[in-house]
Amino acid sequence: MVTSLRQSTILIATSRTMTSFRILHVLARVLFVAALCTPIGARANQTSEQFVQERAARVVAILNSSESIAQKRDGLTQLVEENVGIERIAYYTLGKYRAEAKPEDLESYVAAFRAYLFAYYIRPAAGFSGITLTVTGSTDVPGGKGAIVHTVAKTPGKTELDWYVLDDSSIVDVEIAGISAANLLRAQVSAVLALNGGKVSAATDLLKTLVGKA
């Protein structure tokens, strides 16, 4: 019982105490940038900036619309399902434990992670409005590894966000006020795995339990 409580606390702490982070995390999963591979860094990528701004407008339009909460949830869900590489993010959160996991365990974990992501990060944001997001610039990552697009979000507070985008047009991380979303999720999942001998199935079961309580 104590272990289960500790595991649950690790995974839901952010959802209960960092509402602003959760709202902005929605934007991180639906803004997909067509990053250009460039061997020399520090050149502004205007194409990527425009791409981010266009998709930001779609998200903001949903959140600020007069539609019902259910309709907004459906709209956000569709955008994320069509664009985000949830499987890649899920694998990243497993860290070193992914290498020893069985294929069937990985498949189950990805499915549970997807459900958790929507339950705690995507769907709750449908109840918020008055959000704006503006692109302020971008920087190519050296070595042709993608680009970092800089933005400012108002919810109504002002927060700076940096999006790390690969050259396959998928966002793999976003720093919100200096906090890495991907690393935060990875730390939470790794803590749970460490309490269970690295068994991915344990993390999967806990995610399913949390989704059932959402």
Residue 147 maps to which CATH number? Answer: 3.10.450.710
- The pLDDT of 78-85, averaged and rounded, is 75
pLDDT of residue 48: 63
User: Quick one: residue 183, left, alpha or beta (phi over 0 = left, psi -120 to 50 = alpha)?
Assistant: alpha
Burial of residue 98 (CB within 10 Å: 0-12, 13-18, 19+) is middle
Whether the model pTM is above 0.85? no
Nearest to 41 by CA among 187, 181, 137, 144: 144
Element (H, E) at 171: strand 171-176
Residue 86 clears pLDDT 70, i.e. is over it: yes
pLDDT in tens, 21-36: 555 555 544 443 222 2
Of residues 204 and 7, more confidence is placed in: 204
pLDDT of residue 171: 67
Q: Which domain holds residue 111?
A: 2-213
Of residues 108 and 148, more confidence is placed in: 108
Q: Which amino acid is at 52?
A: V
Least confident interval from 4-8, 24-28, 41-45, 179-183? 41-45
Structural domain total, the chain: 1
Confidence grade of residue 167 (pLDDT, cut at 50, 70, 90): low
- Give percent above pLDDT 70 in the chain: 71
3-state SS class at 152: strand
**The tokens of 102 are what?**
């069985």
pLDDT of residue 29: 43
